[in-house]
Copies of this chain bind each other. A is one copy, B any other.
Amino acid sequence: MTDPIASDTLFEAPPLAEQERMVEAVLFASAAPVTIGELHARLPHGCDAPAALEQLAKRYDGRGVRLVKVGDAWAIRTAADLAFLMTRETVETRKLSRAAIETLAIVAYHQPATRAEIEEIRGVSVSKGTIEQLLDLDWIKLGQRRQTPGRPVTFVVTRAFMDHFGLASPRDLPGLKELRAAGLLESTPPPDELPAREDDDQTDDMFERAPPEEEH
């Protein structure tokens, strides 16, 4: 009766079910939570916003959306247990770069390996990004510092690395002789060049001073 226009045109408030519809539409379309006061201002004269809200809250009980109170205002929100539906991950598979594969291979065959050692074998400097990527992938991790001047950090492969490559232990990595036998070395270097790099010994060697196996 305080609003002459509303009471003139609508002498009676709409039924509660209709009020509930109205509250539902207003809350849905509103860009921010709506207070009881705002609801009363927007709904036809004589509406009982709290009662309509209560009915609406009951109706949404157990549904995919909920009526929630934000401060002194009300809003519709998706049910918290369904939050996982709101983010959708698309997985893209990419091949590791050659630099990353080589660095990983050096760590695997020579672990623990320092960055300087990796660079010496690759003949080029190793970018920080490559090391970081392998650390991110959880395929390498920091080993103990080398007890040499400068105490450089070393890298070792992880359990996740072995899981990914299906290795029971880094010892399972085939040596150069086996690689050659498998035809992975495209050509055979001159015989007298070979003894100088006793590759297989070398690779086996490193597992004698076994890298600390990580617990995962």
Chain A interface residues (CB < 8 Å from chain B) = 2, 4, 20-26, 28-31, 41-43, 62-65, 76, 78-79, 81-82, 84-86, 88-89
Contact = CB atoms under 8 A, between A and B. Distances in A.
A213 B132 CA distance: 42
Contacts of A29: 78, 85-86, 89
Given A21-B63, A64-B21, A2 B81 contact: yes
Contact of A86 (B21, B25, B82): B25
B25 A85 contact: yes
A159 B29 CA distance: 20
B85 A26 contact: yes
B22 A85 contact: yes
Contacts of A26: 64, 78, 82, 85-86
A95 B20 CA distance: 34
Nearest to A28: B65
Contacts of A23: 64
A79 B2 CA distance: 13
Contact of A64 (B24, B31, B41, B89): B24
A17 to B, nearest CB: 9
Nearest to A25: B64
A24 B84 CA distance: 14
Contacts of A22: 64, 82, 85
Contact of A25 (B30, B31, B78): B78
Contacts of A25: 64-65, 78-79, 82, 85-86
Nearest to A83: B25
Nearest to A80: B25
Nearest to A34: B88
Given A29-B78, A42-B88, A65 B24 contact: yes
Contact of A88 (B28, B41, B62, B86): B41
A34 to B, nearest CB: 10
A4 B86 contact: no
Closest 10 CB pairs of A and B: A24-B64, A25-B64, A21-B64, A25-B78, A25-B82, A29-B89, A28-B65, A42-B85, A29-B78, A42-B88
